[in-house]
Structure 1
């Protein structure tokens, strides 16, 4: 079970709008200048897109447009196989407790770059990045969810960006590119980019009017602010 190798799409700077589930919001993200489109295939999420809709949304995407990112959480092979077949992603985002061995296996099976999400709350989480950074093609640094959370990810919360500076972070991350997520909004993304200097940013709930409902004005404002902070020319 393999998919054709797509573009690596891990070069910087990147602006990813995640949790897309409607054609009109996808068009808004593309027209605004997003570089990556994220699609969540995880049933507990309010942004979950099933196999049929993944295929439908993929059919409507322009050739040569932004990279398609498939987000799954501790998915087994049958779930991943079906989702990859439906969407035809350019990158795979693993947002659960996947180990370095699992990352390697996923990359080998689908011949696609793998983004590994990692929750950050304290210095111990920074140290834990080292084996992931040695294996993943790219890291997505998000806020660590509360212990009683039913879903992974930052859940709209930011973490202490000061953890992303200093020798400890540099040693843990090595040369692996990384993107920032967690609590980003149109009002905060420029400051986040300036202060942390990531290779990309990722937003989902920060551009929504309700869980799973994207706000077109917020998408446009977020991408505009991020592009300006990254100094991307139109």
Structure 2
């Protein structure tokens, strides 16, 4: 039986050359780098750029993982790291996701926190503006991380 869906792995929170190398050697399709002050894996765009340089142009796609990114962060990411995709984990509207895609020229992954089928239904509003969806477990109430 054939499925219309394709599953691939993104290894997220990479912060060292060794972890990037292990993810690539392990067959990851995507490498995720976090840009969120409250995360212990938070990086600067410049640090991420140094990690991405050895794999740039290869088969593995790079992802800037953000939460409600402002235009200044988008511009800084595109000037330094130059990710293939920008993942947004915040309260972005479809209009904001479109703005991010247009401003950056990169594809956008819209992440959704899910604990029930109705949470998955939110994705339909983003079908024309997000290149991919990511469904993640909903964090515990009051958590600092999305």
* TM-score (norm. length: structure 1): 0.57
Of 115, 132, 138 in structure 2, the residue corresponding to residue 121 of structure 1 is 115
Residues 1:99 and 2:101 are matched in the alignment: no
Residues 62 and 135 of structure 1: is their aligned pair in 2 closer, same or farther, counting only changes over 3 Å?
closer
Q: CA deviation at 1:51?
A: 2.5
Q: Give the equivalent residue in structure 2 for 1:72.
A: 66
Which runs of 5 or more structure 1 residues have no equivalent in the other structure? 1-10, 153-234
Aligned residues: 142
Cα RMSD between the aligned structures? 1.6
- Taking the TM superposition and a 5 Å limit, the aligned residue runs for 1:174-213 are none
Of 18, 33, 39 in structure 1, the residue corresponding to residue 33 of structure 2 is 39
Q: CA deviation at 1:134?
A: 3.9
Supply the distance in 1 between the matched residues of 2:26 and 2:56 (Cα, whole angstroms).
14
Q: Give the equivalent residue in structure 2 for 1:112.
A: 106
Supply the distance in 1 between the matched residues of 2:6 and 2:118 (Cα, whole angstroms).
27
Q: Which structure is higher in RCO with an 8 Å CA cutoff and minimum separation 6?
A: 1
Q: Give the equivalent residue in structure 2 for 1:133.
A: 127
2:46–2:81 Cα contact (<8 Å) kept: no
* TM-score (norm. length: structure 2): 0.89
Q: CA deviation at 1:62?
A: 5.0
1:74–1:94 Cα contact (<8 Å) kept: yes
Supply the distance in 1 between the matched residues of 2:46 and 2:120 (Cα, whole angstroms).
38
Q: Which has the larger radius of gyration?
A: 1
Q: Give the equivalent residue in structure 2 for 1:18.
A: 12
Q: CA deviation at 1:57?
A: 1.1
Supply the distance in 1 between the matched residues of 2:58 and 2:46 (Cα, whole angstroms).
22
Q: Give the equivalent residue in structure 2 for 1:148.
A: 142
Aligned to 2:126, what secondary structure does the other structure show? helix
Which runs of 5 or more structure 2 residues have no equivalent in the other structure? none
Q: CA deviation at 1:135?
A: 2.7
1:30–1:65 Cα contact (<8 Å) kept: no
Q: Give the equivalent residue in structure 2 for 1:87.
A: 81
